[in-house]
Each structure stands twice: as structure tokens, then as C-alpha cells.
Amino acid sequence: MFGQNITFSGKVTRAESGEVLIGASVSVKGTTRGTITDISGKYKLNAKGEDVVLIAKYIGFKDREIAVKVNGRDKINVDFAMVSNDTQLQDIIVTANKTEEYLQKVNVAATVISSKDIEQRTSYSTLDALKDAPLVLTDSWIASQTSFSIRGLANNFDNVGFESTVGLYIDDVYFSRGFAFNSALFDIDRIEVLRGPQGTLFGKNTIGGVVNVISEKPEWANNGQGEIVYGNYNYLQLRGKWNYELIKNKLSMRLTGALTRRNGYIKDPNPAINASNGNNYNGLRGTIFYNPNDKTDITFKAYYGRDNKTEQTMIYLSGQGENPLGVPASDIDTYSANTPQTFYRNQSGGMLRLNRKVGENTFTSISAFNSSEDFVKQDFDETIVDVSRWGRKQGLKNFSQEFRLASPRSDDRTISYVGGLYFLSERIKGLDTSSINEGFIPFARKYLNSKVPDIKGFQETYDVHSDIQSVSFAAFGSGSYKLSEKLKINAGLRFTSEARKFSFYENIGYFIYNGKPVKLMDTYAAQVGSAQNPLTRQTNDNVLTYDISLDYKVNPYVLTYVKYVKGFKGTGFNTSVTRDVTGSALVFKPEYVTSFEAGFKSKFSNRMKLNAAVFYNNYLNKQEFLDQGETVTIVNADKTGGMGAEAEFSAMLKGFRFDISGGLIDMKYKKFIFGKDENGELIDFSGNKLLKAPNVTLSVAPSYTYNLIDKYKLLFGLSINHVGKAYNDISNSEIIARQPSTIINSRVSLMPKNGKWSIALWGKNLGNQIYYQHGWEYIWGSQASLSRPRTYGIEMYLNFF
């Protein structure tokens, strides 16, 4: 293209309401020159020529072309008002390289769940929203005990000294523990799931991948939305958001709130105990966005959330075979406890983000503070026999600061880069408590050779106190160099330095009988240290991690890549009950991963795309949680590894959309010997499959939009999710394993074409398939956490423009 240089700029909006469209693509027809709209729906694009045609594209909208006659001008404003069209796939945006790029041009295996996907698939939590991503498994034992598994790598929720294996982020802010990560979804723009190690740009504890929840940003408009959902089990959800432009095109604010109530899925025949079974959540978030000029924008966010009740999911499995407690196994929809469950969780925090143009680059500063505390106390054996009770209190406070500088990323650049510094200061406290009661004595006489007689009011206790203080610093950089028009090399390096201090003590409260302590609690615990003289440990990790990859662009529609990554996960601490008075196993070693990946991305048209990847991972000293019988500890597996493959396909045609994704994986412990059993035999887990690593996942999600008349449309949606067999422990116990399951969800909604309101009927797990999402084996019997049964309801929302 010949002619003078012109700078085009303008805004892309929704024609019906004037709402800005963030991430819309704007390009020059007949060239590879293009860009995307920013938080304000604005774009800026340089081109040459006398007669230029600009094209704007956005998912769910018709492509818009505007021909522009330059007539000697060097700056031209061109705005686009987009009209809805349900026949095209979106050019999806992802921030895998810490800057916004088109997913199809980034060499990472990623799934992006958009706000539209969240709505059309009736996803009210992160756990629901991720069900369609390949090789991703999500579960929740109680509200604060969530589990995320990617490619067979799962975070642990049962020990505050064990950091997440999957990096959890909300608006680019890191949460090192799952209990501090709020999985409730409201006012969300998208969720990015990055599979495979992401240690160069996202940090040390991302060897399984990253889940990044990105909330919606304030707009230059005055509008709002109210929503009400009602379903079985007395499910009630109220959500609302309000956007207000304080200063035109300069300052805007957004307020969002949510309230959720629901009864428990399984029942206790005792009304007083059953009354504590259910969910009760309230949350608020406020955002202020300031855009003083074209070079600077500032975002401030603050949030608060509180749960004061959580559903009961645990049942007692024993009753077949030996039946150590002499009581029948629980029914699938009932449990019998001897004490109510107590639960609360409080979360709060804030984030300040600054983006500033520095020449052609963008400087970003993100400061964040987060606080989370939760407490649970419940019947530990899940039976009417008063054997044991258990409680946990855990808290986290952290401050993080990130600085980074990123160049623009586009096809016509020879070099692109991003680099920065990251700091995290964190304090985490944990308190585990447990008791053994009268019901334990008959069991101890029969199975532990105890000679203790029946004692009225018997109870012995332990409490375990842990305190972790850590300071982490990292410097990172990543860049790309275009070797030719088709071939690009990418490399990244990160240095992480982390210092931690750990203190630990464990108390036993014995029952005095005939002037002497009974000491049945010695089966599980010991007196270790004291509040005045705890055991202490200090650790330091100084590690280099890196990645290198090659991209080859077969043609404008097909990208292939190969990638090699070296990552690590930091040193951790055992904060569970122990009988080791010396504390020799309080510290477990860091783990390291070597990952190979080859991928293929294609988008043959605006209506069809296919992405696929194969991978092979090797782990050294993989950190694993062992919870069996009398042993509760985290240990290092010497060698672990395996391979897998995954694919995602999407297509749209005349109102019909079809999404299918799936994955295969085979991950095993290659060498994992853990001590000896009571007979002196080696406990060898070598050859076992990893926990939370299903051999196959498959998701099929068709949807169809039917135009009733000119003003209204019906949307029919269906999702079928199959998860193969997965083990819930490293010993691969069959009794508590997750058996293969196929979950069917559906939704039918009516709305006007301008999207002002919607009424929807939805159903989840229509086949009422139940599986064990978690499981534990103890010497008095096995327990399992049940998945959710069939649920259904009605949803209504109204947009206020």
C-alpha cells in the first residue's frame, strides 16, 4: 500500500445500547495490520494509502467495513457501531504473555471462557465454568476447600503449608492457597485457563497451569443489571451491577454485589444438625477506572465476601466387609452426625493498577493486598457414633507488587518483549484441632488392642499450630524474535528468591482416669514443642526457571509450535498432626518439572477453529499429600511423569454453535517409595496413577439460537461432560475412587435481540449421576465427599441502559 501515513482512531460500540466493546479487532483490509480496542472501546491504528477500508470484528456481531477517503489528512477518527450476529466465532483475547493478544497467535494451550459462555452454560462459580476445558478437574469439599487439577496436577486443600500447584489469579493478582480464592462468579469478563507450566511470567507455583479470572471493567456509560435465580433445594441467588460515568470519558465506577442461599444436598435426620447444612454467601466488589489521557489509565478495585454456612458433602462408606464402627454405610442422600457443622469465611482485599504508555511500550504497576480467614468444625467420622470431631482455622494475609514493561505484540514486529519485577510478602496461620470421644473406646479395644474400659464423658484432644512467614522476590523477562515471515523464536527466564520462616507446635489434652492419663490420643499425635518454645525452621529457595519455543506459521490461518519449559514449586511445610516429636519431616523439598509440548492452532474462517496439543512432563521430587490410616503428611515422590494430548474444536453456522473438547492423559509415579508398614514391608507407590488425574475428559456443548420474530430470540444450550476414572489418593484406593461419570446440563432462554432482559430455565446433572469428588481412608473407616445431584431452576435478569 502506497501513500501518506495516516493514524486512524475511534471507538467500537454496541449499536443497540452504545456500550463499548472491549477486545474488538480493527484491521486494514488486505493487510496484516490490525489492533484491538482497549478498556474504553478505543483503538489506534497506523496505515498508508489514499483509500483505506477498515474492518471491525467482534464475537456475536456482524463484521463492519468502512471505506475512508484520506484527502490529505494524517489523523482520522472512525467509529464503529456493531450489530448483533450469532454466526461468527470471536477473535478471543488471552493474556498468557502478560499483554492482550489473540489466542490463535499465542503458543500456549489455553481455554478462554467468555462472559457469554458463562451465561449460556449457567455457570455460577469457577468450578462450574471450567468443566468444559480439556483435562481440567474441579471439586469442592466445602466452600473454602476447593481443588483445581490441570493435566493431572492438583492443588492440595488439606495443609496450609502446601502451596497450590495450579496458579490461581483474579485480575492478575496471585492467591497462593485455594481457601483464599473466591470461586463465586459475578460481573466476569472471562476466565483464562492456561495448561502446562507457566513459571516464567506467572511464577513458581504454576507447574500445573494457571486459572486467571478477569472481572469486567467500568465503561463510559450509565447502566446496570439485576438478576434473580431460584431453584430446587431452596436455591436463591441475587446479583446486581451498576456502572456510572462520573466524568465523561475520564472517570467511571462500577459496583457489583451477590447473595446466595441454598439448602444442603444430603440430609441428616436430626433437624438441629441438618439446620447447619447449606450455603450462605454475600459478596461486594467496587471498581473505579480513571483515564486522564491517552497514555495513562488507573484502576482501583476492592472486594469483600463472607460465607457463614457451607453444605455437608461427606458420608460414611464403611459397612461393607469389616465395618469397624458397627454402623451401616450412609445412604447416598443422607448422613448421620452427632454434632452440627460450623463454618465461616471472611475475605477482603484491594488492588491498584496503573498502565502508562512509555513511547511505544506499556509500563504496568499492580499493587494488591488480600486477607482471608475461615473456620470449620464438624463430626469427623460422619456417623451417629461419637468417635471423633475435627476442626480447622486458617488465615492468610499478603501484599504483592509487580512492575513490568511490555512492548506491543503484532505480526509486523521483529522483536517483542515483556519484563519485570515481582514481590510477595505473605503470612499464613493454621490451627487444626481434633478429639476422640466415647465412641472411639470400643473401636480401640477391638482394633488397637487397647484395654481401656468404657468411660463416660471420655474425650482426648490435640491441637496443631503453624505459622508461616515468607518473602518472595522475582525478576523475569520474556521475548520473541521473528527469524522470518513464518518462523519465530521465543525465550523466557525467571529468577526467584524466597525466604521462609516456619514455627510449629502440637498439644495433647489427655483424659484423666483413676488419676492417670488414658493416652489413646497417642495413636495419632504427640506433644511437640509448645507455644513458648515452638519448633522452627527456615528455608531459602534461589532458582532459575526458563522456557524456549519455536513458532511456525504455516499460513495466515495455521500456527504450529514446539516448547520446552523448566519450572519449579517451592519448599513447603507439613502442618498436619504428627507423632514425630523431633519434627524431622516438617520440611519437604521443592519440586521441579521439565515439560515438552507441541501444539497446533488453526482458524480456517470466522466460523471454525481447531486447537490441539501433545505434551510430556517429568517431575523430580513431586510434592504429594499422604492421608491414610494414622499417616497424614506431605512427602516427595522421587520421579513422576507421563504424557497426554488434548484438542478443542468450535464451529458456528446459521445460529448453531458446536463446541467439543477432550483430552487423554497417563501420569504415573515412576519411583515413589514411602517408608515401611507395620510388617516391615516397603510402602511402594511406584506405578500408581496420580490423584485427580482422569484418563480421559470429553465435553460436547451444542447451542442453537432461533429467531422468533424480528425482536426476540430463543437460545437452546446443552453441555455433556464426561470424566473418566480418577483416584482420590496416591495409593489408588478403589473404595474412594472417582468412577467415570457423564454429566448433562441444559438451558433454554428467551430474550429480545437487544439483550435488555432474559428469562431462562436451566438444569444441571439431569441424569443425577453421583461420584466421589474426594475421599479419605482412616483406621475407623472410609469417607467420601459426594458430588452434586440434579438441580434445576429459573433465572431472570434485566439490563438498565
User: Residue 727: which pLDDT band, with cuts at 50, 70 and 90?
Assistant: very high
Q: Which residues, other chains included, contact 649 with Cβ-Cβ below 8 Å and sequence gap of 6+? A: 609, 610, 611, 658, 659, 660, 661
Q: Which residue has the cell 516397603?
A: 682
Pairing state between β 696-707 and 656-671: antiparallel
**Cα(711)–Cα(724) distance, rounded to whole angstroms?**
43
The model's pTM: 0.88
Question: So what's the pLDDT on residue 382?
Answer: 87
Digit-coded pLDDT (tens) for 140-194: 878 777 888 999 988 766 788 888 889 889 999 998 888 878 766 778 889 999 9
Q: What residue ranges define each of the domains in the chain, with the CATH number in brackets?
A: 5-82 (2.60.40.1120), 93-213 (2.170.130.10), 214-800 (2.40.170.20)
Residues of the chain with pLDDT > 90: what percent? 61
What mean pLDDT is predicted for residues 596-623? 92
Least trusted range by pLDDT, from 117-126, 399-408, 760-769: 117-126
Question: So what's the pLDDT on residue 319?
Answer: 57
Q: Is residue 566's pLDDT more than 80?
A: yes
CB atoms within 10 A of CB 569: 28
Q: Is residue 2's pLDDT more than 60?
A: no
DSSP 206-263: -SSEEEEEEE----SS-EEEEEEEEETTTEEEEEEEEEEEEETTTEEEEEEEEEEEEE
Q: In degrees rounded to 5, what are phi and psi of residue 717?
A: -130, 145
Closest alpha carbon to 500 in 550, 531, 466: 466
Question: So what's the pLDDT on residue 88?
Answer: 66
**Cα(510)–Cα(529) distance, rounded to whole angstroms?**
16
Q: Which residues, other chains included, contact 440 with Cβ-Cβ below 8 Å and sequence gap of 6+? A: 387, 388, 458, 520, 780
On the 0-12 / 13-18 / 19+ scale of CB atoms within 10 A, 255 is: middle
Question: So what's the pLDDT on residue 744?
Answer: 97
Q: Is residue 320's pLDDT more than 60?
A: no
- Residues 460, 511 contacting (CB under 8 angstroms): yes
- Residues 264, 331 contacting (CB under 8 angstroms): no
Question: So what's the pLDDT on residue 800?
Answer: 86
What mean pLDDT is predicted for residues 234-261? 95
Q: Which residue has the cell 513447603?
A: 572
Question: So what's the pLDDT on residue 1?
Answer: 41
Question: So what's the pLDDT on residue 766?
Answer: 97
Question: So what's the pLDDT on residue 592?
Answer: 95
Q: Is residue 423's pLDDT more than 70?
A: yes
Contacts 24+ apart (CB under 8 A), 117-122: 118/185, 118/188, 118/191, 120/703, 120/715, 120/717, 120/747, 120/749, 121/701, 121/717, 121/719, 121/745, 121/747, 122/745, 122/747, 122/760, 122/762, 122/764, 122/795
What mean pLDDT is predicted for residues 222-243? 95
Q: Is residue 371's pLDDT more than 80?
A: yes
Q: Which residue has the cell 483406621?
A: 779
Digit-coded pLDDT (tens) for 82-116: 876 666 676 677 888 888 888 888 899 999 998 88
Question: So what's the pLDDT on residue 492?
Answer: 96
Pairing state between β 631-653 and 656-671: antiparallel
Distances (CA, A) of 146 to 283, 401, 525: 18, 26, 27
Please indicate whether residue 797 or residue 412 has the higher confidence score (pLDDT): 797
Please indicate whether residue 465 or residue 51 has the higher confidence score (pLDDT): 465
Question: So what's the pLDDT on residue 321?
Answer: 56
Report the DSSP beta bridge partners of residue 226. Answer: 240, 798
Closest alpha carbon to 430 in 183, 625, 179: 179
Please indicate whether residue 207 or residue 605 has the higher confidence score (pLDDT): 207
Mean pLDDT of all residues belonging to the chain = 90
User: Residue 781: which pLDDT band, with cuts at 50, 70 and 90?
Assistant: confident
- Residues 60, 116 contacting (CB under 8 angstroms): yes
Element (H, E) at 118: helix 115-120
Q: Is residue 215's pLDDT more than 60?
A: yes
End-to-end CA distance of the chain: 42
What mean pLDDT is predicted for residues 362-389? 93
